[in-house]
Amino acid sequence: MPLNYSKWDALEISDDSDIEGHPNVDKKSLIRWKQRDIHEKREQRKAKIAYLKAQIACNNVILPRLKSLLAEYDEGAKSMPGTKHFNNTIQKMQASPSKDCPPGNDPDKIEQTYDGMILSLLQQVADAALKKIKESTAATDSDKEERAAKEIHDALELHVKQLSEEIARHEKELVEEEKEQKKHITMDDIHEGFNTKYVPPKPVEAPAPLPVTKPKKAVKKQEIEVLNAGASSSAGAGPSSSPPADESSDEEDGVPELSSTLEAFSKMPLRGYEKSFEFIQNHRDVFVPGASDALLVAGFRAQTRGEAKYAKQCVHQSLLIQYCEKLGGDGPRLFFQKMIQGDKRAETVFLDDVEKTYGHIAQRVEAAREEDDGEPKEQIQLVAENPETQISFNVPDGPPPEDLRLEGPGTEDFDIEEVRKALQMRWDVFDAFPEDLKKALGENSLEAVNMVLGEMEVPVAEQIVESLSMTGILNFAEGGIRDETGKEVDE
């Protein structure tokens, strides 16, 4: 079998016998000069190849634009003078030039962009046409206009032709230079040939079971907040419910948490069996103890939030896992094979189970909402500390009169302006109360006032009770400043 040594033809080698020089010149210097000459020519060739590629790429962008400008010029010259259309094109490019430029150029410098190059060429065309018009013998303006339009057209057509020829010449030179470059093997041609290596895969760890939380049952209790907590038991402020002994001692069963993998699995589309099977193949931790229950719990919570679509997806994916587990060790492959192949009987059974399970969860959520709606809410009630004490309300009849006088023993030291301010503040606070509360206070009925306070939110009711106490409208005992306008005050 003959041996083929042609692959070594491109190897450039030499020895001392190849170099012949003058006897008065050091041979080692000749060898170094020869090597330097080889490397310099190689670098010059690489630089020329890069230059030719850049020129070809740039001209390939400019040439179509020149052709387009020539076509637009010929078309525009039919409706307006050619020189006017040409001037409009130049002004438009000067007003809004594009920043597209060859690689390595500065887009902020217009002369380095494609539009800048074309604009420079158009300026040269305009100057050449103007010079020829001045040298011509045309007498009238119409003749000059016609001559200028023809000169512009001929110049654009000439530049298109010359640019096409230049591109072809550069491409021919590039082929010759690359061919010459491939004649010799250089360091740039060295590359890694066939190579193989084997890295053993890391052992796959068994998926860990899902974490389980055991929250205590929430005890539902009605609380009525009273003004005097110590007297609530003696005054019978309201019923308070306590949980049964057997109910408070028990805790809910463990609720598995939804892992990030199961959360992604729960968002798979309904009946997307191929995507679900592919996800299971790539994530082994889908099949862990408690995964199915975690998905059902997530579905229940989603239904509670009003996300019915996502709740149904969770139920669908939970039953996928249950069916695969029931079919044994090869369950996933058997289950998804039937579903992907379109086994109508198996798919009908599965989807009916999904609908029944989702309907059961929806009913449970609705029942829980009805139960929550029936819960008693926290209230604010007024209760006297001493059962024998009567709670009364000192309701003002109106703002204090302009001619306010204080009568009776002990009123000599009172500042009448301070009294006026106190009475005015009490009236302003009372007048800002809701109408139903003002009506209940006017009836001087504790039961009516407590009924109005019970219908309010706790923070609002607390603020109202504080305002009643601060202004003296709420009285637990006799004494204090009373507004007896019309009775004890002479108007």
66 DSSP assignment: H
Contact 155, 128 (CB under 8 A): yes
What is the rounded (10 degree) CA torsion for 333, 335, 341, 345? 160
Decide: helix, strand or coil at residue 491: coil
Q: State the Cα–Cα distance between residues 365 and 296, nearest whole angstrom.
A: 13
Of 171, 157, 137, the C-alpha closest to 59 is 171
Cβ contacts of residue 188 below 8 Å, gap of 6+? none
Q: Which alpha helices (H) appear in 11-113, and where do they start and end? A: 27-76, 82-95
C-alpha separations of 168 from 56, 60, 96, 179, 396 in Å: 9, 11, 32, 17, 105
Tokens describing residue 54: 């850049």
Which residue stretches of 103-202 are H helix?
A: 114-135, 141-181
CB atoms within 10 A of CB 474: 20
- Measured distance CA(76)–CA(92) in Å, rounded: 15
| Cα–Cα distance for residue pair 32/42, rounded to 1 Å | 15
Q: How many whole angstroms from its chain centre is CA 42? A: 53
In 267-343, which ranges are continuous DSSP H helix?
273-282, 291-304, 308-326, 331-341
**SS3 call for 379:** strand
Is the CB of residue 102 less than 8 Å from the CB of residue 58?
yes
With a cut of 70, list the residues of the chain below it in pLDDT.
1, 7-8, 10, 12-22, 137-139, 190-194, 202-256, 372-377, 384-388, 405-413, 476-491
Question: pTM of the predicted model, to two decimals?
Answer: 0.38
pLDDT at 413: 67
Picking from 484, 474, 481, the residue whose alpha carbon sits closest to that of residue 444 is: 474
Rg (CA), the chain: 49
Enumerate the β-bridge partners of residue 379.
224
At position 114, the amino acid (one-letter code) is: Y
SS3 assignment, position 235: helix
pLDDT at 239: 40
pLDDT at 175: 92
226 membership: H or E segment, kind and range: strand 224-226
Counting Cβ atoms within 10 Å, is residue 113 exposed (0-12), middle (13-18) or buried (19+)? buried
Residue 490 CA to residue 405 CA, distance in Å, equals: 6
To the nearest 10 degrees (0 to 180), the angle between helices 114-135 and 27-76 is 70
Q: How far apart are CA 291 and CA 257, in angstroms?
A: 9
Q: Measured between alpha carbons, how far is residue 81 from residues 152, 169, 192 in Å?
A: 12, 36, 65
Q: How many residues does the chain have?
A: 491
| The pLDDT value given to residue 213 | 58
Provide the H-helix boundaries in 374-434. Answer: 416-431
